[in-house]
């Protein structure tokens, strides 16, 4: 079993191990360098060659499988970036090994699994968090603060879309039920999780979905109500959408332009300009054009708030998890497991409705 050498200066840092070598794992490895108190300690893959190549580029020790990674005492925390349907079993083993755990969204594929995993982590007093990186971005922190301060007045509604066209392929993870496919788990989760983060748990849930030939959801419409404030959310693999998110208030609106999941700016508009932007955002093409233009050119009646940062943006999620682990917490304040479970419950409820 390999062991990494820890220098005296590293004793206070959290040594992260990554399970998986895909795109999101590489982004995690790149962004961890921006986080004080965190370091990449190792990576595991189903192929030792892939893990070795990954470590040659990003650092850390290569492990032939995640069991070997979990056995190393120099691994303090684990980021699980493996296929969706493997999240539960790997997270369970990591918790059993007393490793702090951050799971790339979705936490797991069913609410029942989420409940079991949360109970096990609580029993073992081990940190567990779902990695919905959007929640931790500075732009989202600004939006939540603006809502709380009443900057846009009384809340009226939320609208959001997240859709990326994918050619149908029954073997692709997006369309394969065995790999946890479907637009709700892949895209709709961001919309629901962000809505819950901003407004709490909804009172009512309705919606509709359309299946791909494999039976997973190709697209879905989600309608939530938060104390009378409606949220209209759309996701899908059938098109490339405007991929924006809007919070409308009585005195104006906040817009997270495309792609909102990695927001680096927020547009704030009064009622008149907000109505115009709302009309533009109904069309995905005009929504993307408007977003690009407004980033570069000031638009009368639109206040721009920029939150640029280095890297991809996962460092804020990594930083929050690292801080919570160092504080001895078993959950992160801004990503409680109750909200992860509620999100999965909502996605399951949408899927329980007859398909269209």
What are the tens digits of pLDDT across the range 147-180? 999 999 999 999 999 999 999 999 999 999 999 9
Condensed to tens digits (0 to 9), the pLDDT of residues 320-342 reads 999 999 999 999 999 999 999 99
Residue 1 maps to a domain: no
pLDDT at 11 over 50: no
CATH of the domain at 68: 3.40.50.720
CATH of the domain at 145: 3.30.360.10
Query: Mean pLDDT throughout 70-98?
Result: 97
Structural domain harbouring 81: 8-132+314-333
Q: What is the percent of the chain where pLDDT is above 90? A: 85
Residues 62 and 97 placed together within one structural domain of the fold: yes
187 vs 8, higher pLDDT: 187
Residue 68 maps to a domain: yes
- The count of domains in the chain is 2
pLDDT tier at 7, thresholds 50, 70, 90? very low
Residue 159 maps to a domain: yes
- Please state the φ and ψ torsions of residue 178, each to the nearest 5 degrees: -70, -20
CA 105/CA 130 separation, integer angstroms:
6
pLDDT at 33 over 80: yes
pLDDT at 86 over 50: yes
pLDDT at 242 over 70: yes
Residue 2 maps to a domain: no
pLDDT at 4 over 60: no
Query: Mean pLDDT throughout 264-276?
Result: 89
105, 208, 303, 349: the active-site residue: 105
Residue 3 maps to a domain: no
Query: Mean pLDDT throughout 106-118?
Result: 98
Supply the pLDDT for residue 10.
43
Supply the pLDDT for residue 2.
34
Residues 300 and 321 placed together within one structural domain of the fold: no
Residues 197 and 166 placed together within one structural domain of the fold: yes
pLDDT tier at 189, thresholds 50, 70, 90? very high
pLDDT tier at 229, thresholds 50, 70, 90? very high
pLDDT at 109 over 60: yes
Residue 338 maps to a domain: no
Indicate if 105 belongs to the active site: yes
Supply the pLDDT for residue 193.
98
Residues 26 and 101 placed together within one structural domain of the fold: yes
Q: What is the percent of the chain where pLDDT is above 70? A: 97
5 vs 288, higher pLDDT: 288
Pairs from 24-27 (Cβ < 8 Å, separation ≥ 24): 24/81, 24/104, 25/54, 25/79, 25/81, 26/54, 26/57, 26/58, 27/311, 27/312, 27/314
Residues 292 and 240 placed together within one structural domain of the fold: yes
Residue 288 maps to a domain: yes
Query: Mean pLDDT throughout 8-33?
Result: 88
Residues 14 and 162 placed together within one structural domain of the fold: no
Supply the pLDDT for residue 105.
97
pLDDT tier at 272, thresholds 50, 70, 90? confident
Supply the pLDDT for residue 5.
33
Residues 127 and 167 placed together within one structural domain of the fold: no
Residues 105 and 200 placed together within one structural domain of the fold: no
Residues 226 and 244 placed together within one structural domain of the fold: yes
Residue 294 maps to a domain: yes
Supply the pLDDT for residue 40.
98
Residues 63 and 110 placed together within one structural domain of the fold: yes
Query: Mean pLDDT throughout 198-207?
Result: 97
Residues 289 and 140 placed together within one structural domain of the fold: yes
Mean pLDDT of the chain, nearest integer: 93
pTM: 0.93
Supply the pLDDT for residue 149.
96
Residues 148 and 46 placed together within one structural domain of the fold: no
Supply the pLDDT for residue 32.
98
């Amino acid at each position: 079993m390999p062991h990494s050498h820890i220098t005296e200066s590293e004793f206070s840092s959290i040594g992260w191990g990554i399970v998986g070598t895909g795109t999101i794992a590489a982004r995690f490895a790149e962004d961890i360098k921006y986080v004080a108190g965190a370091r990449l300690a190792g990576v595991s893959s189903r192929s030792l060659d892939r893990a070795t190549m990954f470590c040659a580029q990003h650092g850390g020790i290569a492990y032939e499988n995640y069991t070997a990674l979990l056995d190393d005492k120099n691994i303090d925390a684990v980021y699980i970036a493996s296929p969706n349907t493997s999240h539960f079993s790997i997270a369970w083993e990591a918790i059993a090994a007393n490793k702090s755990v951050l799971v790339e969204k979705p936490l797991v594929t069913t609410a029942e699994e989420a409940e079991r995993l949360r109970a096990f982590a609580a029993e073992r007093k081990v940190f567990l968090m779902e990695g919905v990186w959007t929640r931790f971005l500075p732009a989202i922190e600004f939006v939540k603060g603006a809502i709380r301060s009443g900057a846009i007045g009384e809340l009226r509604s939320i609208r959001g879309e997240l859709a990326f066209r994918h050619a149908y392929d029954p073997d692709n993870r997006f369309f394969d039920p065995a790999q946890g496919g479907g637009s709700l788990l892949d895209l709709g989760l961001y919309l629901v999780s962000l809505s819950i983060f901003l407004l709490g748990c909804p009172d009512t849930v309705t919606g509709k979905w359309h299946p791909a030939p494999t039976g997973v959801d190709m697209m879905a419409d989600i309608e939530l109500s938060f104390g009378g404030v409606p949220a209209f959310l759309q996701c899908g693999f059938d098109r490339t959408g405007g991929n924006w998110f809007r919070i409308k208030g009585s005195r104006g609106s906040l817009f997270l332009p495309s792609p909102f999941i990695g927001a680096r700016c927020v547009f704030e508009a009064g009622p008149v300009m907000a109505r115009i932007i709302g009309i533009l955002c109904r069309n995905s093409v005009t929504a993307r054009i408007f977003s690009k233009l407004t980033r570069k050119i000031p638009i009368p009646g639109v206040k721009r708030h920029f939150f640029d940062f280095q890297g991809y943006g996962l460092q804020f999620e990594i930083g929050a998890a690292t801080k919570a682990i160092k504080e001895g917490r078993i959950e992160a304040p801004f990503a409680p497991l109750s909200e992860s479970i509620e999100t999965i419950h909502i996605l399951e409820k949408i899927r329980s409705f007859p398909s269209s």
